[in-house]
Structure 1
Amino acid sequence: MKELYIKQKVLSMRGRFTVKDADERDVYFVEGSFLKVPKVFTVSDTGGSEVAQITKHFLTWLPKFTVSIDGQEVITIKKEFTFFKSKFTIDALGLEVEGDWWDMDFGIYQHGELIGEVSKKWFSWGDSYQVKVMDESVEKLIIALVIAIDCVKADQSSAASSASFGD
């Protein structure tokens, strides 16, 4: 098992942050596009090579995000039409998220087997997440999924804030 930590910078306009290991060494660098449509987050390794990309689709009726790993689209996250509570679906081969993903406390399963766990760290400046990777062969997938879910949450929160701001 491998433990990784995602610590987002609160006041970063571009959405830059680092994924570190348990010894606080950099493992991945994440950078969001600034004033670009569609919004894209790029995940790079310490050598500067792109390993994953999260894209928010533009001109869709409901929010939709895709995740590409090593240039291959592997995950689609879509908001479902509901009247009360927000609901999102994750389309990927055998991938499920169980738990409270809205509060970033969930398990990631592939074909019923636990491959990762995510928990939000409270009382920290900015959003901080502990990510436990049970199967290191899907490490990039798990990190990209966590970033994508956090992006979905941020997008939903900003939409709710702007809607209530006009009231």
Structure 2
Amino acid sequence: MKVPVTGFYTKELRSGNSRTGFDVFSLNNNKHAPLARILPDQNYSHNQFIHKVGNYVVDLPSFENIALPSLSIQDNKSVMIIDEIGRMELFSKKFESRVKDVFKNQDVIILATIPNKGKPITLVETLKKLPTAVLIEVDFQNRDILLDKISTSIKNTYDKINKNL
């Protein structure tokens, strides 16, 4: 049985060996848009950018146009991908609110990525404490073998939810 999937993921952009930004991609409709870009040349004042993380400027309207519709629960028997719940994304209060709503729905399986470095983020710390949360740290050594483990876990949870409906 095929598991319905909704949500979004982010992908880094590179130019040669340098990361230049991130794009956000909807799993619902294949649309994508900029999430963040490296700050432009030094002729710009860093103070003119409202939303920034490190050297990156966050394009909040662009992110919201893709991410928010992607977080609509269309079918309670689905898997929602949220990549990621991090500092850049949480500049959006609408996104933060939508994530909280999604996590209240017990019939949706959520696969979310969170940062594991840096200053703790209140929402992330709250989500990690949920009784249904399963934390899996991805690192260089295990990243290639986790796909099967996560896929099997999601499929088993999906089957269990569907039997209870």
Higher helix residue share: 2
Which structure would you say has the larger Rg?
Answer: 2
TM-score by length of 2: 0.29
TM-score by length of 1: 0.29
